[in-house]
Homo-oligomer: A and B are copies of this chain.
Amino acid sequence: MNDHVVTAAASLQKSLIQSRVRARLLRSIAATLNDARDLIIATCSQESALTSEELAPEFARMTRTLEMFADVVDDGRWTRTAISPNESDPTKAIGPNHDIRSFLIPLRGAVIVFGASNFPLAYGACGGDTASALAAGCPVVVKEHPAHRNTGRLLAQIARDAIKSASFDPDLLCYVEDDGKDTASLARSLVEHPDAAAVGFTGSTKIGTTLISIANARAIPIPVFAEMGSVNPNIIFPGALASRAKDIARQLAASILARHGQQCTCPGLVFVPSNEHHFADVFEEELTKGAPRRMLSPGVREGFERSVAKVAGALGEDVSDHTAPSERKSPLLLRAPSKAAVELPEVLETEMFGPAAVVLSGSMADAESAIARLPGSLTLSLWFDESDVTTVRHLLPDILHRAGRIIFNGVPTGVRVCEAMVHGGPWPATNRPESTAVGPRAIERWCRPVCFQNTPEAIVCPALAAGA
Q: Are A84 and B458 in contact (CB under 8 A)?
A: no
| Chain B residues with CB under 8 A of A422 | 102, 449-451
* Distance, CA A407 to CA B17, complexed state (A): 21
- Contact mask A205-228 → B, CB, 8 Å, 1/0? 000000011001000110100000
**How many A residues, CB 8 Å from partner?**
76
Give A403 to B320 CA distance when docked, in angstroms: 58
Task: Give the number of copies in the complex.
Answer: 2
Whether, in the assembled complex, A316 has its beta carbon less than 8 Å from a beta carbon of chain B, the answer is no
Select the stretch in A37-45, A180-188, A229-237, A389-397 that faces chain B. A389-397
- At the interface, yes or no: A274 with Cβ under 8 Å from chain B? no
> Is A386 at the interface (CB under 8 A from chain B)?
yes
Contact B95 A415 (CB under 8 A): yes
The answer for the CA separation of A460 and B404 in the assembled complex, in Å, is 17
Is A414 a contact of B68 with CB atoms below 8 Å?
no
Cβ–Cβ contact B421 & A100, under 8 A = yes
A404 adjacent to B95 (CB under 8 Å): no
In the complex, whether A343 has a CB less than 8 A from a CB of chain B is no
> Does A61 sit at the interface, judged by CB under 8 A?
yes
CB <8 Å contact, B414 and A96: yes
Chain B residue at minimum C-beta to C-beta distance from A415: B95
Q: A61-B94, A410-B454 are in contact. Are A83 and B449 (CB under 8 A)?
A: no
Inter-chain CA distance A31–B451, complex, in Å, is 31
A460 and chain B: residue at smallest CB distance: B408
Q: Is A97 an interface residue (CB 8 A)?
A: yes
Tell me the complex Cα distance, A286–B46, Å: 75
Distance between Cα atoms of A389 and B421 in the complex (Å)? 42
Chain B residues with Cβ below 8 Å from A447 are 434
Q: Is the CB of A424 within 8 A of B406?
A: no
A401: Cβ under 8 A from any B Cβ: yes
CB distance from A447 to the nearest CB of B (A): 7
In the assembled complex, A340 has its CB within 8 A of some CB on chain B: no
Complex Cα gap A415–B98 (Å): 9
Residues of B within 8 A of A396 (CB): 459
Whether a CB of chain B sits under 8 angstroms from the CB of A419 is yes
A334 → chain B closest CB, angstroms: 25
Contact in complex: B431, A400 (CB < 8 Å): no
Beyond A405-B453, A451-B406, whether A84 also contacts B418 by CB under 8 A is yes
The interface residues of chain B lying within 8 Å CB-to-CB of A101 are 420
Per a CB cutoff under 8 Å, which of B213, B405, B427, B449 touches A436? Answer: B449
Q: Give the contacting residue for A407; candidates B107, B454, B458; CB below 8 A.
A: B454
CA distance A468 to B148 in the complex (A): 45
State in angstroms the CA–CA spacing of A421 and B96 once bound together.
12
Instruction: Please tell me if A409 contacts chain B, counting CB pairs below 8 Å.
Output: yes
For A416, the chain B residues whose CB sits under 8 A away are 84, 93-98, 100
A223 partner residues in chain B, CB cutoff 8 A? 434
Assess whether A105 is interfacial by the CB under 8 Å rule: yes
Let me know if A220 and B427 touch, CB within 8 A.
Answer: yes
- B400 and A105: CB pair below 8 A? yes
Q: Which of A15-70 contact B (CB under 8 A)?
A: 17, 57, 60-61, 64-65, 68
Residue numbers in B under 8 Å from A315 (CB-CB)? none
Question: Which residues of chain A from 268 to 311 have a CB within 8 Å of any chain B CB?
Answer: none
Within 8 Å of chain B (Cβ to Cβ): is A193? no
User: Complex Cα distance A96/B452, Å?
Assistant: 41
Within 8 A of B (CB), among A372-399: 386, 389, 392-393, 396-397
Is A244 among interface residues, defined by CB-CB distance under 8 A? Answer: no
Most buried by B among A101, A396, A403, A456: A456
Check: A150 CB closer than 8 A to any chain B CB. no
A100 / chain B contacts, CB cutoff of 8 Å: 405, 416, 418, 420-421
Tell me the bound Cα distance from A396 to B417 in angstroms.
35
Q: Ordered nearest first, which 10 A-B pairs have the shortest CB separation?
A: A84-B418, A94-B417, A82-B420, A84-B420, A422-B451, A100-B420, A95-B416, A108-B401, A102-B420, A96-B414
A interface list, Cβ under 8 A from B: 14, 17, 57, 60-61, 64-65, 68, 82-84, 93-98, 100-102, 105, 107-108, 212-213, 216, 220-221, 223, 386, 389, 392-393, 396-397, 400-401, 403-410, 414-422, 424, 426-428, 431, 433-434, 436, 441, 444, 447-456, 458-459
